[in-house]
Amino acid sequence: MSEISYQAALEFAAMKHEGQVRKGGAPYITHPVAVAEMLKERGYGLDYQIAGLFHDLLEDTDATEAEIAALGGEDVLAAVKLLTKTPGYVMADYIASIRENEMAKVVKAMDRLHNLRCAFEAGEKFRRKYINESREWYMDFAPEIPEAVEMLEKSLKN
């Protein structure tokens, strides 16, 4: 169980993502917040929500493993590390590792779902790549993902 509150975790993540923006121009922190909210709506506890807030910290900020462990605990750190793409990663290994950790898998499912729902503002090339990657690797991560992929595909036909 995490030692900090959701609010403290949010403040840390917001500070680390400060100045970063999403493709549509929104502050980047809106993405981890949305992932955490999706986890909460589905009944996942504080540790999962904090992992949702922290899921991109190692990959996209100067946050350290020690900071994440101190704030979120070892289970959160383990999930965040699995969700972090490292240079030269192999997608099959990345996905296989995530599948072995329930927290990482659920956070990745909500991350992918939120990104699919937001990809409409991205260019056609990115949307096609994201659809193909989702079809190949993520369709069974959450029941809503196939529908989100289909909706994004329809956007290419308009």
* pLDDT tens digits along 54-108: 999 999 999 999 999 999 999 999 999 999 999 999 999 999 999 999 999 999 9
The residue annotated as part of the active site, out of 59, 65, 140, 150, is: 59
> Model-level pTM?
0.94
74 is catalytic: no
The CATH architecture assigned to 6-157 reads Orthogonal Bundle (1.10)
- For every residue of the chain, which 3-state class applies, written as one string? CCCCCHHHHHHHHHHHCCCCECCCCCECCHHHHHHHHHHHHCCCCHHHHHHHHHCCHHHHCCCCHHHHHHHHCHHHHHHHHHHCCCCCCCHHHHHHHHHCCHHHHHHHHHHHHHHHHHHHHCCHHHHHHHHHHHHHHCCCCCCCHHHHHHHHHHHHHC
Mean pLDDT, range 111-133, rounded to an integer: 94
Is 60 considered catalytic here? yes
Q: What is the pLDDT of residues 14-68, one digit of tens each?
A: 999 999 999 888 999 999 999 999 999 999 999 999 999 999 999 999 999 999 9
Among the residue ranges 7-16, 57-66, 119-128, the one predicted with the least confidence is: 119-128
Q: Domain limits of the chain? A: 6-157
Indicate which residue of 60, 67, 144, 153 is catalytic. Answer: 60
